[in-house]
């Protein structure tokens, strides 16, 4: 078979894959079969397995991948906002479909009929398990590594498995690539040693926000070199902090980009001061919580690595709007009460959300917690017992519990010391939402804490009621 014939066959497969993938996306949305965020890419990949590589290699400014157990959607949205402030057109999986079919869907929807992208750069948040294959297929110029925690053990196993896969993939990056990493996570920092690629660390230096002692949900407690337990001078949450191995001396690397000051402003966000090689950057971040400040720090480090001016970064983050379900504010109808929606999906994320809620107000809390155990949530909900719900004891006015594992969540709250009289169990989510809103006093906010598929169910319901757009339009 001649070279010309092979080229024509490959070109034909690409054209057919693009056409059928785009058609699937249109039909999915027209007939309300979902957002069309993954199926189109799955179809395209079945016809032309190399289609993602073909499109990504045609991007003049290459690909950015963002990976981590927690924070990748918010961090990628923050970095996208910064890039958009430069006027740069961008391929971005904004809807959060972060497996290879989701990345491919985004790629095929913004190209011409030959597969040539209209944008100059792609930004993909990437599932932990998909990162090695994403690196192989997209050949990224920038990889951002946020954290590694236990998440959906029935799907992925312990973090050592993921870390080993990441290490092998990162070793394939060339010297022209850059890895931006969380220096406060020993599971992440250890992966960046001896890489061919350039590495840039970011970290938290405002130790006023450290906790008094190690938490029971610290996953990476032992040195990757000698196996001895790390000693922590400061712990911010889980195993995130300033660590040293007393046996071999491995320690937290000094971050080039550091959050030196964090001043909380309640639910209105935080005032941040970030030190970077060119000076200091002041930011008002309109999202509360230490973990959102860390997301902003990661986005800042990535943007600086791309050569973006600090002033542009500051403006973009100051005007940033939350991604759907990530400390997202929604009004329940034209004259309805406010809701604050915060995804919980693993022990660390749930614990930090509880920490944020209890730290930002002294008023009694009104909650709706929706726990599902579908595949995308993880069918093993034993993580509820590792999450720190104990700070809610004595702080809840009323909590409505819903979802396929509502009874498990109600039991967990009972063991956490929450007054049983304040707990209402309603399996059906729309009914639970109505009940929680009906019992909400005037002037209060309903905080909604759903797992992933419960968040999608909730989003579909509030979109049906006209309170917000479908998730793929946010």
d(CA 405, CA 396): 20
- Residues noted as catalytic: 380
Q: Which domains does the chain have, with CATH numbers?
A: 62-95+119-318 (3.40.1190.10), 326-473 (3.90.190.20)
pLDDT at 291 (0 to 100) = 95
pLDDT at 364 (0 to 100) = 96
- Residues facing residue 50 across a β-bridge: none
**What are the tokens at 151?**
């998440």
- Residues facing residue 378 across a β-bridge: none
Output the known binding site.
Answer: 223, 226, 245, 248
pLDDT in tens, 438-473: 999 999 999 999 999 999 999 999 999 999 888 766
**What are the tokens at 31?**
């007939």
pLDDT in tens, 407-417: 999 999 999 99
d(CA 45, CA 48): 5
Average of per-residue pLDDT values in the chain:
92
d(CA 176, CA 6): 31
Measure the CA angle with vertex 215, ends 212 and 219; round to 5°.
140
pLDDT at 33 (0 to 100) = 65
User: Closest Cα partner for 163 from 133, 189, 202, 124?
Assistant: 189
**Which residue, chain included where needed, has tokens 């966000």?**
269
pLDDT at 111 (0 to 100) = 87
Helices (H) and strands (E) in the chain, counts: 15, 17
* Mean pLDDT of the 53-71 span: 96
Cβ pair 211, 236 in contact under 8 A: yes
195 vs 26: which has the higher pLDDT:
195
Output the known binding site for Zn(2+).
Answer: 223, 226, 245, 248
Report DSSP letters for 351-419, one per residue.
HHHHHHHHHH--SPEEEEEE---STTT-S--GGGGTS--GGGTTTEEEEEEESTTHHHHHHHHHHTT--
pLDDT in tens, 134-167: 999 999 999 999 999 876 544 445 788 899 999 9
């Amino acid at each position: 078979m001649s070279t010309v014939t092979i080229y024509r066959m490959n070109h034909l497969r690409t054209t057919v894959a693009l056409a059928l993938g785009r058609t699937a996306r249109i039909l999915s949305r027209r007939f309300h079969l979902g957002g069309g965020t993954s199926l189109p890419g799955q179809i395209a990949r079945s016809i032309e397995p190399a289609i993602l590589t073909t499109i990504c290699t045609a991007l003049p400014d290459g690909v950015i991948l963002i990976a981590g157990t927690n924070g990748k959607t918010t961090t990628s949205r923050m970095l996208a906002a910064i890039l958009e402030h430069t006027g740069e057109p961008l391929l971005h999986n904004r809807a959060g479909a972060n497996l290879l079919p989701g990345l491919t869907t985004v790629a095929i929807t913004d190209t011409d009929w030959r597969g040539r992208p209209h944008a100059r750069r792609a930004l993909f948040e990437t599932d932990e398990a998909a990162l090695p294959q994403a690196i192989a297929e997209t050949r990224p110029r920038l990889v951002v590594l946020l954290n590694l925690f236990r998440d959906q053990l029935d799907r992925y196993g312990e973090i050592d498995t993921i870390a080993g896969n990441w290490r092998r993939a990162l070793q394939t990056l060339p010297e022209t690539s850059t890895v931006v990493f969380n220096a406060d996570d020993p599971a992440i920092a250890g992966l960046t040693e001896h890489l061919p690629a350039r590495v840039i660390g970011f970290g938290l230096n405002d130790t006023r926000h450290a906790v008094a002692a190690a938490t029971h949900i610290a996953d990476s407690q032992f040195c990757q070199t000698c196996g001895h337990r790390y000693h922590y001078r400061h712990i911010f949450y889980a195993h995130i902090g300033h660590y040293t191995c007393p046996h071999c001396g491995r320690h937290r690397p000094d971050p080039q980009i550091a959050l030196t000051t964090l001043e909380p402003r309640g639910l209105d966000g935080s005032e941040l001061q970030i030190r970077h090689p060119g000076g200091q950057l002041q930011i008002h971040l309109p999202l509360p919580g230490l973990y959102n400040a860390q997301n902003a720090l990661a986005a800042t480090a990535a943007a600086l690595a791309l050569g973006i001016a600090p002033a542009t970064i500051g403006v973009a983050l100051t005007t940033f709007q939350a991604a759907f379900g990530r400390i997202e504010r929604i009004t329940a109808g034209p004259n309805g009460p406010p809701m604050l929606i915060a995804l919980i999906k693993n022990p660390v994320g749930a614990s930090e959300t509880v920490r944020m809620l209890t730290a930002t107000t002294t008023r009694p809390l009104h909650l709706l917690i929706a726990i599902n155990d579908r595949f995308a949530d993880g069918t093993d909900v034993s993580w509820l017992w590792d999450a720190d719900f104990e700070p809610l004891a004595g702080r809840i006015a009323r909590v409505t519990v819903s979802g396929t594992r509502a009874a498990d969540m109600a039991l967990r709250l009972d063991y956490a010391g929450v007054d049983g009289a304040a707990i209402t169990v309603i399996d059906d989510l729309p009914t639970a939402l109505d009940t929680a809103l009906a019992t909400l006093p005037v002037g209060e906010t309903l905080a909604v804490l759903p797992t992933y598929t419960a968040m999608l169910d909730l989003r579909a319901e509030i979109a049906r009621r006209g309170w917000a757009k479908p998730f793929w339009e946010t």
